[in-house]
């Protein structure tokens, strides 16, 4: 059942969020309004995650949030293409992006225990969603060209709604909130503990810069393909290849176990991202080169997914991991929102070359910080245990 739920949810998601930036660019609005709409995508993700961090503190509450989020999100997605007045678009942009990112953070908490019950790994449970997303991005562009954005969005919301309904057919009567989590709530970690870790501060800044520029780069590429008159079908093929490369590199790199190797993965990911944005910054190349360069986006994010949480846990320890991860999400989404807001105006006043050059500079700064990062051979938890023994 989990496989079927993931199939409908991720495939439907790809039909909407995979093409959202391109859709917004077709509305004929000025650059300030376009910047507002683009910046709302990451900014509302921050608000959504803030909400679930305070409310979604138990298994039952998380299940309720998934139900409410599904109804709100799918309703606005299905209606979004039919109303193009700016303030309505702002409303659906707010509501959809409020729910989307935080939905997946909650959904992951269900994938993990369900996968364990089936004697499978988390990666196995999430893999089918990734495969569905690949299929959706490959076919979404063709669908848009055949029946328009509004009907494609209608199909998108319907598929996600079906996934939500199937989720509530799952039986969770044997599931209980983890006892360790209950104990953790008694001695809940504080944010000031996280900020005392100097290695994490460097890592957080580097990762926030890197991932924030990465998300902004996705929207910049979507706008650029519109400027180059790339068809929705060709854009879908390009983005589908990027998602495929993401899944492939995540699978290949998931076996990396050493902290020094995780650091090297992030360095390689930054280099791949710099190469991608540098190619996109060069004007008047063959359009195929730009579309092919997007494949490096998948290489980059696959390595980020394989290394980020593992290295963060090594630096902070299990107890502080959630706090550290949330802090990093907040900062990278805020940077992405800032870049997205100014992006259309920067492009209008200068060029796409200038915008991609800015992204290269930001990621280069994160690369320098990764190179200077000193990683201890043992984890924070192991160091803490040795300190107690002493």
Q: What is the DSSP string of 270-319?
A: HHHHHHHHHHHHSTT--HHHHHHHTHHHHHHHHHHHHHHHHHHHHHH-HH
Which of 187-191, 322-326, 385-389 is the most confident on average?
322-326
Q: What angle do CA 228, 231, 232 make, to 5 degrees?
A: 120
Same domain, 233 and 306: yes
Q: Which of 162, 188, 214 is the last residue of a domain?
A: 188
Range of the domain at 81: 1-188
Same domain, 134 and 195: no
Number of domains present in the structure of the chain: 2
pLDDT (tens digit per residue) in 45-104: 888 888 877 776 667 777 788 888 889 999 999 998 898 889 999 999 999 988 887 787
Same domain, 184 and 44: yes
In the block, residue with structure tokens 């800015």? 358
Longest dimension (CA), the chain: 69
pLDDT (tens digit per residue) in 25-61: 899 889 999 999 999 988 998 888 888 777 766 677 7
pLDDT at residue 109 greater than cutoff 70? no
Q: Which of 169, 188, 207 is the last residue of a domain?
A: 188
In the 8-state DSSP scheme, what is residue 27? S
**Dist CA 324 CA 301 (whole Å):** 19
Q: What angle do CA 353, 298, 6 make, to 5 degrees?
A: 130
Same domain, 39 and 102: yes
Same domain, 150 and 177: yes
State residue 179's pLDDT score: 42
Same domain, 382 and 339: yes
Q: What is the mean pLDDT of residues 233-237?
A: 92
pLDDT at residue 390 greater than cutoff 70? no
Same domain, 168 and 225: no
pLDDT at residue 344 greater than cutoff 80? yes
pLDDT at residue 189 greater than cutoff 80? no
Q: Which of 158, 188, 218 is the last residue of a domain?
A: 188
Give, for 189, the enclosing helix (H) or strand (E): none
Same domain, 171 and 275: no
E-strand stretches of the chain: none
Same domain, 174 and 229: no
Same domain, 17 and 48: yes
Distances (CA, A) of 97 to 20, 21, 69, 170, 265: 11, 12, 11, 26, 29
**Dist CA 56 CA 76 (whole Å):** 22
Same domain, 299 and 153: no
State the CB neighbour count (10 A cutoff) for residue 300.
29
State residue 114's pLDDT score: 67
**Dist CA 5 CA 104 (whole Å):** 13
Same domain, 320 and 367: yes
Region of 317 on the Ramachandran plot (φ > 0 left; ψ -120 to 50 alpha; else beta): left
**Dist CA 148 CA 220 (whole Å):** 22
Q: Which CATH number do you get for residue 167?
A: 1.20.1250.20
């Amino acid at each position: 059942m989990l496989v079927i739920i993931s199939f409908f949810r991720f495939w439907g998601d790809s039909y909407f969020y995979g093409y959202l930036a391109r859709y917004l660019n077709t509305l004929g609005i000025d650059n300030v309004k376009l910047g507002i709409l683009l910046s709302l995508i990451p900014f509302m993700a921050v608000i959504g995650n803030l909400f679930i961090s305070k409310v979604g503190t138990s298994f039952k509450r998380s299940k309720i949030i998934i139900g409410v989020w599904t109804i709100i999100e799918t309703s606005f997605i299905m209606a979004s293409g039919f109303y193009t007045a700016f303030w309505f678009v702002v409303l659906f942009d707010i509501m959809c992006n409020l729910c989307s990112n935080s939905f997946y953070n909650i959904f992951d908490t269900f994938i993990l225990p369900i996968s364990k019950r089936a004697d499978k790994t988390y990666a196995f449970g999430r893999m089918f969603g990734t495969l569905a997303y690949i299929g959706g991005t490959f076919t979404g562009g063709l669908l848009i060209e055949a029946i328009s954005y509004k009907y494609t969005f209608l199909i998108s919301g319907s598929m996600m709604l079906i996934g939500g309904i199937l989720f509530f057919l799952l039986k969770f009567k044997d599931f209980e909130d983890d006892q360790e989590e209950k104990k953790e709530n008694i001695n809940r970690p504080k944010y000031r503990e996280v900020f005392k870790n100097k290695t994490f501060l460097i890592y957080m800044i580097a990762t926030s810069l890197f991932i924030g520029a990465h998300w902004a780069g996705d929207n910049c590429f979507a706008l650029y393909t519109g400027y180059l008159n790339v068809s929705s079908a060709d854009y879908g093929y390009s983005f589908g290849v990027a998602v495929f490369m993401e899944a492939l590199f995540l699978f290949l790199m998931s076996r990396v176990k050493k902290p020094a190797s995780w650091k090297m993965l992030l360095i390689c990911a930054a280099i791949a991202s710099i190469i991608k944005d540098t190619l996109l910054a060069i004007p008047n190349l063959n359009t195929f080169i730009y579309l092919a360069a997007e494949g490096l986006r998948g290489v980059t994010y696959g390595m980020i997914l394989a290394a980020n949480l593992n290295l963060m846990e090594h630096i902070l320890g299990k107890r502080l991991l959630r706090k550290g991860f949330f802090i990093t999400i907040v900062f990278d989404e805020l940077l992405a929102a800032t870049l997205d807001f100014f992006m259309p105006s920067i492009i209008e006043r200068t060029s796409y070359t200038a915008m991609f050059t800015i992204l290269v500079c930001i990621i280069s700064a994160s690369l320098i910080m990764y190179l200077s990062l000193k990683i201890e051979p043992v984890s924070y938890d192991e160091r803490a245990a040795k300190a107690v023994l002493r």
